Amino acid sequence: MLRHAAHRLASRAAVAGRRALSTAGVPAQAAEDSAFVEAWKKVAPNIEAPKTPMTLMQPRPPTPAAIPTKLTINFVLPYKSEIANKEVDMVIVPATTGQMGVLPGHVSTIAELKPGVLSVHEGNDVTKYFVSSGFAFVHANSIADIVAVEAVPLDQIDPSLVQKGLTEFTAKLGSASTDLEKAEAQIGVDVHSALNAALTG
Amino acid sequence: MAMAALRREGRRVLLSTPSPAAAMAVRSPAVSQPEIAPLGARSISTQIVRNRMKSVKNIQKITKAMKMVAASKLRAVQIRTENSRGLWQPFTALLGDTPSVDVKKNVIVAITSDKGLCGGINSTSVKVSKALHKLTSGPEKESKYVILGEKGKVQLIRDSKKSIELTVSELQKNPINYTQIAVLADDILKNVEFDALRVVFNKFQSVISFKPTVTTILSPEVMEKESESSGKVGDLDSYEIEGGETKSEILQNLTEFQFSCVMYNGALENACSELGARMSAMDSSSRNAGDMLDRLTLTYNRTRQASITTELTEIISGASALEG
C-alpha cells in the first residue's frame, strides 16, 4: 500500500514537475548581462551567477516598419494573467487624465491608472472590467501591457453593495478627523463613485 | 531441574568473576555492536537494537508525513506562482534589467524561509546575497541587507550584522497575498534609502530544480540618469508620460509598484522552492531511514540468533558434561 502511495506521489510530482517545466521552460535568452556575469565571476568564481529577469522572459518583437493592424495586449493581475498576448482592435484604459483609447500604432506611453472601466474591443465584442488601479504601458511595437492590482468583470458587481459602500464612505469622510482617516475615506469615496459611474455609464 | 541449576551457575560465574577470557568473549560481540549486553544480563539482549529500530521507524513515518504535507501545499502554491509569473514581465519589458548598474547605495532584499528542513535553498540565497554584497561594495559604494525570513537572518547575522537594515519574519503565517506584500514593500521603501534594490530569491523551475535569481530595481533618480546616459534602460525617454503630475512622480509610483510586484512573485517562487526542496529532503531522509532500518533488522536477527545459539550451547555443553 505504501508502495502505491509512493508511486502515486511520484507520478503526481512528475505531473507537477511536467506542468512547471512546461511553463517555466522559457529557453534561456542570450540577452544576459555579460558585464554582470563577468563581474560575478571575479567576485565569486565558485558560485554560479544568479539568473536575471531578462533571461527568463520571451524577448519582445522589435518595432515594425509599418503600423500593424492589431494591438497585442497583456492584462495581468497579481493572482492571474487575465489576458495574455491577445490581438485586439482597441483598448480603452482609465488613465488618471481620463479614458485613454489605445489603437495599434499608438505612441509609446506610460500611464498611471485610476479606478475605472477598462474595455477591450475585438471586432464587435467588448469586454469591460472594473480596474482598481495600476499602470498601462504602450510600447512602440504595438504591444500594450496593463498591470492592475485588482480587476473584476462588470457583470460581477452588485449595485446595491456599491450604493451602500458609497454612503458609508461619504459618512466616514464627513466624520474623519486625522489625515489618514480622511485619505482612506476619500479613496473609498473615489472608488465607489467610479464603480457607480461604471455600472450606470 | 539440572538445566535451571546450570543456568543459575552460569549467571553466578558471569557476575562474580568475569575472567579475562569470559570478558573477551562478552566483549567481542560487543566490539562489533557496542552496548549489546546491558550489565547484569544473562545473555545477549536485543533490547537496544529494538529501541533503535523503533525510533528509526518513527523518524521514517514523520519524514514521510512531512513529505506528503509539503507535496499537498506545493500543489496549491504552484498554481498561484504560475499565475503570478506574468506580473513582473511588463516591467522588465519596459525598463529592461540592469544588474551591473553602478550605484552608491545598494540594498539587497533576500527572500528566505522561516522553517528549516528544506535542503540547501536558504544557504544558496545567502551565498548569492553575500556575493552580491561583495560585488556592490567598494570605495564609495555601500550595500545593505533587508532579510525576509528567519533562516536568512540567522545565517547573515553571524558575519554581516552591521549591514542588516531590516528583518521580517513570519511571512507565511497566512497564505501569501498581494496586499500583505504591498504593505511590506511600502515599509521597506519608506525606511530604507536606496539607489538600487536587488531582490534575491529562488525561482521554481521544477520540483527538483530551483535557480537563484536576482531582479534589479532602480530608484527613479537613477533610472532617469541611466535612461539619459545609456540605452540599457531602454528608451525610457521616448515614452510619453500620461498623467497630471510630473514625470518624476509617475516614475516614483512606477518604482514602488514594480518593487511590490517583483516581491510578490519572488515570495511566491521562494515558497514554492521551499516546499519542493522540503519534499526532496524529506524523501531522501525517509529513504535513508528505510536503509538504516534494513541494516538494523539484519543486526537484530543476527543478535537474536546468536543469543539463542549461545543458550543452546551452554545447555548442551552442560548436559554433555553431566553425562560424562
pLDDT in tens, B150-205: 999 999 999 888 889 899 988 888 889 899 999 999 999 999 888 999 999 999 99
Q: Which site among A15, A52, A93 would you substitute to test the B interface, given the most B Cβ atoms closer than 10 Å to its Cβ?
A: A52
A–B CB contacts, 8 A cutoff, strictly below: 168
Q: What are phi and psi of B272, to 5 degrees?
A: -60, -45
Q: What are phi and psi of B18, to 5 degrees?
A: -70, 95
Q: What pLDDT is recorded for position B301?
A: 95
* Nearest-angstrom CA–CA distance, A37 and A32: 8
More confident residue, B232 or B221: B221
Residue A31's H or E segment, with its range, is none
Chain A residue numbers with beta carbons less than 8 Å from the beta carbon of B250 are 110, 112
Q: What pLDDT is recorded for position B281?
A: 95
Cα B157 to chain centroid distance, Å, stands at 17
- State the pLDDT confidence band at B21, using cuts at 50, 70 and 90: very low
More confident residue, A19 or B310: B310
Of A20, A109, A135, the CB nearest to B204: A20
Directed axis angle between helix B247-323 and helix B121-136, to 10°?
A: 140
Q: How far is B145 from chain A (nearest CA, A)?
A: 17
Residue in chain A nearest B240 by alpha carbon: A109
* Nearest-angstrom CA–CA distance, B263 and B266: 5
More confident residue, A76 or B38: A76
Closest to B117 (Cα-Cα) out of B53, B161, B67 = B67
Q: Among the ranges A97-106, B21-30, B219-228, which has the highest mean pLDDT value? A: A97-106
* Nearest-angstrom CA–CA distance, A18 and A15: 5
Percent share of chain B, pLDDT over 70: 84
Task: At A82, list the grid cell.
Answer: 487575465
Task: At A179, list the grid cell.
Answer: 489625515
More confident residue, B23 or B217: B217
Task: At A90, list the grid cell.
Answer: 482597441
Distances (CA, A) of B87 to A139, B11, B90, B217, B258: 17, 78, 7, 14, 9
Cβ <8 Å between A108 and B71: no
The CA R_g of chain A, rounded to the nearest whole Å, is 23
Cβ <8 Å between A79 and B82: no
Q: What pLDDT is recorded for position A118?
A: 92
Owner of C-alpha cell 545598494: B106
Task: At B162, list the grid cell.
Answer: 552591521
Task: At B202, list the grid cell.
Answer: 529562488
The mean per-residue pLDDT over the stretch B7-17 comes to 50
Residue in chain B nearest A80 by alpha carbon: B83
Cβ <8 Å between B253 and A112: yes
* Nearest-angstrom CA–CA distance, B302 and B287: 23
Q: What pLDDT is recorded for position B234?
A: 57
* Nearest-angstrom CA–CA distance, B68 and A9: 8
* Nearest-angstrom CA–CA distance, B309 and B307: 5
* Nearest-angstrom CA–CA distance, B289 and B62: 11
Q: How far is B285 from chain A (nearest CA, A)?
A: 14
Task: At A147, list the grid cell.
Answer: 498591470
Residue in chain B nearest A114 by alpha carbon: B243
Owner of C-alpha cell 457607480: A196
Q: Which residues pair with B179 in a beta bridge?
A: none
Cβ <8 Å between B92 and A57: yes
Of A16, A23, A143, the CB nearest to B207: A16
Q: How far is A145 from chain B (nearest CA, A)?
A: 6
Beta-carbon contacts of A15 under 8 Å, excluding residues fewer than 6 positions away, are: none
Closest to A200 (Cα-Cα) out of A95, A101, A117 = A117
Beta-carbon contacts of A73 under 8 Å, excluding residues fewer than 6 positions away, are: A83, A86, A88, A91, A120, A143, A144, A145, A146
Closest to A103 (Cα-Cα) out of A59, A134, A144, A66 = A144
Residue in chain A nearest B134 by alpha carbon: A43
Which positions of chain A have pLDDT values less than 70?
1-32
ipTM above 0.90, yes or no: no
Chain B residue numbers with beta carbons less than 8 Å from the beta carbon of A46 are none
- State the pLDDT confidence band at B230, using cuts at 50, 70 and 90: low
Q: Which site among A72, A76, A92 would you substitute to test the B interface, given the most B Cβ atoms closer than 10 Å to its Cβ?
A: A76
Owner of C-alpha cell 541587507: B145
Of B89, B93, B99, the CB nearest to A33: B99
Cβ <8 Å between A74 and B86: yes
Of B214, B264, B279, the CB nearest to A50: B214
The CA R_g of chain B, rounded to the nearest whole Å, is 32
Q: What pLDDT is recorded for position B42?
A: 56
Q: How far is A34 from chain B (nearest CA, A)?
A: 9
B243: left (phi over 0), alpha (psi -120 to 50) or beta: left
Distances (CA, A) of A88 to A91, A126, A138, A142, A149: 8, 10, 14, 11, 22
